[in-house]
Structure 1
Amino acid sequence: MTHPVPQHILDALTDVEMPKLGAEPAFEKVIKLGAFEVPVHTTDSLVVGSGAAGLRAAVELRRRDIDVTIISQSAWGGTSACSGSDKQTLHTANTADQGDNFVDMAESIRAGGAMDEDTAYIEAVGSGRAMASLQFLGLPLPQDQLGGTLRYQTDHDEVGRATSCGPRTSRLMVKVLAQEALRLGVPFFNQTTAVKILTSEGGVVGVLAIRAKDRSEKNPYGLVLFRCARLVLAAGGPGELYRDSVFPNGCYGSLGLALEAGLELVNLTESQFGIGTRREGFPWNLSGTYVQVIPHFYSVDDTGTEHHFLADYYRTTQEMASNVFRKGYQWPFHASRMLDFGSSLVDLAIYREGEKGRKVYMDFNRNILPVPGDLPFSLDRLDSDVATYLSKAGADQDLPIDRLKHMNPLAIELYRRYKVDITQEPLEFAVNNQHMNGGIAVDIWGRTNIGGIYAIGEAAGTHGVTRPGGSALNAGQVFGTRVAEQIAACGQQAPRDEIATLGTKAVEDIVQVLRAEDGMAVKDIRSAVQTRMSEDAGILCTQDRVAAACGEAADLNASIRRQGITLSRDSEAARALQWQQMAVASEAVLTALDHYVSGGGGSRGARAICDPEGGALPQGPDGPLTEYRFRPERDADKGSQILVRLNGTEMTLRTRENRAHDPSDKSFFERDWPAWLTSEIHDTGKSA
């Protein structure tokens, strides 16, 4: 039975207003760092980032009476608030037909390999608590009449672990967590961009940031200093690395910042790509029902001629339509799904149209056109898994737009808010970078290799390459809580006093980069980084091009160090430093990728390593697609991780085996309760 959803409910779930920030606290003093007079704020714990993960850490720290402060480049402007997930993956334990256990969920999270087994288990065990606490804060996760959470199948998920509040699920998560942070009185400095992490041998000392509102004659860049004993990096992923990206504009992350501070990064070879609308308009992933309603895909060349390009890749209309549907829960590109006429041939086809200079569209007012010479599209001629899903959903309407109105009207409302009416016009889209699965290396408590520094969310390198869709949100919630627990177990701490010397050196480094004349232009650095990453480190890679791109990235960083960056005005300082750090992050990614590919590594997850000697060959209806022959993944590569660190001006690499977890090593209440009571489980004796 269909239940029409009133417009006011659709509006409330689409137009999610974020809370207004309160007044910022005053800086306690001003100190002289070189030629600059810099305001100072002191806190025990500093959280960099105001997305779902950072807000969770701040809320949990404040609940445990830890003095915590948030700084954010743009409050409610990051991925989880603006272009984030439409789903939350959870432990499903409430029905027999879609039952679950923590071990099974952990195995799904780490199924792609190169992920620590203990981390996956932690994310599985913590998922129920994360979901329940979000519901307590007011997140409207849907339920059935008996209180069970409504769930559905998502990518890399055979159980049905996803639930959703609609396209704005992650924004709603940010909203309820932000409201709680404000209710708890967590200090919040907005429009504040972290540019240098200050450390000594004892660990973190503070963060140097830039704020436009603090620019003055004696402080032309607007430098401010945050002294802290613990630092939580939660600034999201490096969305600006790629020209073809579904990240909101201005998502720089903190990987370059972390590398410059001496932090070790892991799994930078692990990214995620999929179809989505371009960032020039409204960037959004086109997974789920957008493709499960089976709209017509076509491209347009520069003469205005329309091309039914998907028909060149599939043998029958049924095969083509069924694989368009499967993009809904097999959304990310995966090299192995190019084989046997699988769903990633859709991504390859779209990518190739883009290479030809054509624009690609999906049209919800037309059913997908037939493969020439074959029967026309019909809901009665679909593969059994597709037909069963649409039948259960009651999606038997004649046109894709009507099926979408029935299955997910919020999907239509979302684009309408951005002046795109998909009930009337086609939607332009492309294959885009969507997520960095690698990041800063952390232990089971979110600790990095430098004392007092933690990383969570997309900033942390904890995400499995074939994890179920939505589990990255869960990971940020679980580890945001664990970081707070570990910090609280160590007790409130005062920042160390080496700040003046370290701060002065950091300011000198910044001044050295931001030279007034003869430096490189920011736009040139941006173009070089984004073009190289999109063209040489996207879904299709070759050993020669990756090696060349790695060398070019190193040359770019050498040029920046030698020439500096020219500012046309002082207000550009923060953006210039971010692009300098993006160049560093790009070199780190390409260094890891070059190491992996040149060592014989195969096609893991997001990338097909094309090789004329490769053992996997996609087929088209007219024969082999020889240009896209690729190396299959080696099972051995699933058991280890590649770590990168910046030593001086050189990227250094090492590998380590995945940490193991033995699920048969069960806890025992009477034996293990004292370890919890005494905080022994938090490993407080270790430098954190």
Structure 2
Amino acid sequence: MTIDVPQEILDALTDVDMPRLPPEAAPSETVRLADVDVPVYRAGCVIVGSGAAGLRAAVEMKRRGDDVVIVSQSAWGGTSACSGSDKQTLHTANTADQGDNYKAMARAIRSGGAMDEDTAYVEAVGSSRMMASLQFLGLPLPQDPLGGTLRYQTDHDEVGRATSCGPRTSRLMVKVLAEEAIRLGVPFYNQTTAVKILTEGDGANRHVVGMLVMRAGDRTEKNPLGIALFTSDVIVLAAGGPGELYRDSVYPNGCFGSLGLALEAGIELVNLTESQFGIGTRREGFPWNLSGTYVQAMPHIYSVDSEGAEHDFLGEYYRSTRELASNVFRKGYQWPFHATRMLDFGSSLVDLAIYRETAAGRRVFMDFNRNPLPVSGDLPFSLERLDDDVRLYLGKAGADQDMPIDRLKHMNPLAIELYRRYKIDIAAEPLEFAVNNQHMNGGVMVDTWGRSTLRGCYAVGEAAGTHGVTRPGGAALNAGQVFGTRAAEHINASGRAKGAAAKDITATAEAGITDLLGALSTESPFTVKSIRSEVQARMSEKAGIICDQEGVSGALIEARKLNAEIRGKGVAYGRGAEAVRGVQWRHMALASEAVLSALDFFIRNGGGSRGARAICDVEGECLPLAHSGPLQEYRFRKERQAHRQEQIVVRLDGDEIRLSTRQNRAFDESAKSFFERDWPAWLTGRIYDLEADE
């Protein structure tokens, strides 16, 4: 039975209005540094980013009485507020039915390897508290009549721990957290871009003392670039992932993250080889992931060449109509590309086929008004001729309608409604899409409290490199909430953010401003446009889902050359806004070199194919097969099990990228707490390991 959902309910779950920001506080003073009149803002902690993870950290800190502010390049403009999928997933412990085993959940989260075991357990055990607090704030997670949370299966999830508010789940999370932050009186500084972390001390004693930003509101005749100083002993990096790194990307425009910012500050990064790629609509229009019911409705997928001729290209890869349609369906919960799923006519063969079509200059579409066409010589599409897992799912969902658009409307009318908001009617016209970069699983290396290797600097959300090779769909939203809370608890226990920082750091700030201005030049041949074009093309063409040693090594040489030239000649700018972008693209070029360095290191040390990429090799053990024959060009290496037990660490030493490996931190599943024995550690704050910061 199909239940028609009233339009006002559909509207409420797709048009999510964000709260108005409070007025900004004025600077405490203005000082003359490096011939610039620099406004000074003082805080106990500065959080960089206004997404779900950063807001969670701010709310939890403010509740505990800490002095905290949020700086944001564009409030409500990041991935949390602007990205999603058909029914965007929040992955948490399944407390309905017979409940969940946190240790089993932790094993599932870290199952792809290259992930710290203790981090996985922290995310698992923290998920119940996180979900309950979001519901308390008003997040409308769906329930059954007895109060259990409705669940379904998602990527890398065999149990069914996923839940959703619809396509705007993360935006709704941002909304309720932002409303709480505003209610608590957290100051926001919008149109404010972090450009340099300021530190003092040497070696293990080096620590955060503040941050330089560029602010549109602080541009004056005596400060044309809007440089401002935030003095603070604590910084939380929560600015998301490096969305601008790839040309073929489903990130919203303007998402730069903080990898380059962190590298320049000497902070160690980890797992930069690990990303997620999958099918989605291009960022030039409305960027959105095409997972879940978009593909479970089984639309017809085809390409169009430069002369307008259609090509039913998937029929060249799958042996039967049943196999083709069933694997299109499986992209719903096997959405990210994974090299091993190209084997045995699996679901990632769909990604490879789409990748090859776009590389050949063809445009790819899905048509919800046509069922998949029959494979040559086979029977036509039928809901009765599908693999057992597919038929069972559709049967339980009641999705027995004749056409894909009707199956989609029955299973998830919000999926159609969302595109209509952006003047795309998938009920009336085909939808163009491609394989895109979607998420960075690596990032700043942190411990179980979110601490980076720089004292006073924490990282949460996609900025933190906690996810390993694979992760269940929606686990990143959970991780950001759990670690936003953990970082806030640790900062509060340290006492560093009880009040606004009062230390005089003008000498350090002046040196930082001098460095910043030296990296910009009105005469440089390197413009934002030229750097963007070069970096994005190189990353999409040499470091996407298909890689090989020669291509990555060549790309790394070119990336090093670009960064050396940028260091020598700076980045060109005209107006103040262009200077901000110039700094961000300098950071992005550096992040690109770091990713390619890690990937080159991995491949040269025998690294094989896993989550993000297929490492192609003529001597590779794995050969994808297609209906048309073996795909020799895409023969790839197997993953080496030893690499699952370690992570690649990246840091910037002067102008050189340094690489090393470390073993995953272990978690003893047999260890058990005992109340009377362990309570004193909580009462005295020993659980926070504050001695490591002294």
Which is further off, 635-644 or 615-624?
A: 615-624
1:92 to 91, 94, 98: 94
2:267 aligned residue: 263
Query: Counterpart of 1:636 in 2: which secondary structure?
Result: helix
* Cross-structure match for 2:430: 426
Q: Is the 8 A contact 1:229 1:493 kept in 2?
A: no
Partner of 1:539: 545
CA deviations 1:470-518 (Å, max 9, x no partner) are 0000000000000000011112265363521111111111111111214
CA offsets 1:541-569 (integer angstroms, 9 cap, x no match): 00001011111101000000111111122
CA–CA distance in structure 1, aligned partners of residues 40 and 348 of structure 2 = 51
For residue 333 of structure 1, give the secondary structure of its aligned residue in structure 2. Answer: coil
CA contact (8 A) 1:205 1:498 kept: no
- Any stretches of 5+ residues in structure 2 without a counterpart? none
Structure 1: runs of 5+ lacking an equivalent:
none
Equivalent of residue 208 in structure 2, options 198, 204, 208: 204
Query: Which residues in structure 2 correspond to 1:140-151 (within 5 Å)?
Result: 140-151=140-151
Question: In structure 2, how many angstroms separate the alpha carbons of the residues matched to 1:95 and 1:197?
Answer: 48
Q: Deviations over 1:635-672 (max 9, x none)?
A: 01000000000011000011100000011101111110
Post-superposition Cα deviations, 1:152-208, rounded to whole Å, max 9, x if no partner, equal 000100000100000000000000000000000000000000000001114101110
AA at the equivalent of 2:414: L
2:24–2:189 contact (8 Å) kept in structure 1: yes
Give the stretch that moved more between structures: 560-569 or 189-198: 560-569
Inter-partner Cα distance in structure 2 for 1:120 and 1:424: 44
CA distance in structure 1 between the aligned counterparts of 2:692 and 2:141, rounded to whole angstroms: 38
Q: Does 1:502 align with 2:504?
A: no
Match of 1:602 among 604, 608, 612: 608
1:69 equivalent in structure 2: 69
- Which residue number corresponds to residue 363 of structure 1? 367
TM-score by length of 1: 0.99
Aligned-partner residue type, residue 543 of structure 2: A
Partner residue in 1 for 2:390: 386
For 1:206-225, what aligned pairs fall within 5 Å after superposition?
Answer: 206-225=210-229
Cα distance, 1:677 vs structure 2:
1.0
Contact 1:237/1:252 (CA < 8 Å) preserved in 2?
A: yes
What pairs up with 1:156-305 in 2 under 5 angstroms?
156-201=156-201, 202-305=206-309
Structure-2 separation of matches of 1:623 and 1:10:
46
Letter in 2 for 1:178: A
Give the letter aligned to residue 67 of structure 1: D
- Alignment match, 1:372: 376
- Matched letter for residue 668 of structure 2: D
Q: SS state of the match for residue 365, structure 1?
A: coil
Aligned equivalent of 1:556: 562
Q: Deviations over 1:28-61 (max 9, x none)?
A: 1001111101101100011000000000000000
Give me the whole-angstrom Cα distance separating, in 2, the residues matched to 1:552 and 1:214: 37
CA distance in 2, matches of 1:358, 1:213: 45
Q: Which amino acid aligns with 2:257?
A: G
Q: Secondary structure of 1:366's match?
A: coil
CA distance in 2, matches of 1:457, 1:84: 15
Match of 1:5 in 2: 5
CA distance in 2 between counterparts of 1:330 and 1:21 reads 38
The answer to whether the Cα contact below 8 Å between 2:572 and 2:579 also exists between their aligned partners in 1 is: no
Aligned partner letter, 1:578: Q
Of all paired residues, the percent bearing the same amino acid is 69
How far did residue 622 of structure 1 move?
2.7
Aligned pairs (5 A) from 1:85-164: 86-96=88-98, 99-164=99-164
Are positions 1:483 and 2:481 aligned together?
no
Q: Which amino acid aligns with 1:163?
A: T
Pick closer, same or farther for the CA change 1:247–1:280 going to 2, 3 Å: same
Q: Does 1:628 align with 2:634?
A: yes
How many residue pairs were aligned? 686
How far apart are the structure 2 equivalents of 1:225 and 1:308? 57
Q: Hey, what's the Cα distance between the residues in 2 that align with 1:466 and 1:612?
A: 26
User: Is the 8 Å Cα contact of residues 271 and 468 (structure 2) preserved in structure 1?
Assistant: no
Q: For 1:579-594, what aligned pairs fall within 5 Å after superposition?
A: 579-594=585-600
CA distance in 2, matches of 1:543, 1:109: 29
Distance in 1 separating the partners of 2:670 and 2:235: 35
Aligned mates of 1:293, 1:250 — CA distance in 2:
32
How big is the shift at 1:2?
A: 3.2
Equivalent position SS for 1:391: helix
**1 CA distance for matches of 2:468 and 2:316?**
33
1:620, distance to aligned residue in structure 2 (A): 0.8
Could you say which residue in structure 1 is the equivalent of 2:674?
Answer: 668
Work out the CA distance in 2 between the residues paired with 1:52 and 1:130: 12
1:334 to 332, 335, 338: 338
Which residue does 1:643 correspond to in 2? Answer: 649
Quick one: which amino acid aligns to residue 393 of structure 1? A
For residue 541 of structure 1, give the secondary structure of its aligned residue in structure 2: strand
Aligned to 2:82: 82
Deviations 1:529-551 (A, max 9, x none): 00000000000000001011111
> 1:570: how far off?
3.0
Residue 474 of structure 2 corresponds to 470
Of the structure 1 ranges 410-419 and 510-519, higher mean CA displacement relative to structure 2 is found in: 510-519
- Contact 1:49-1:236 within 8 A present in 2 as well: yes
In the TM superposition, residue 297 of structure 1 has moved relative to its aligned partner by 0.1
Tell me, what secondary structure is at the counterpart of 2:40?
Answer: strand
Aligned-partner Cα distance in 2 for 1:547–1:13: 46
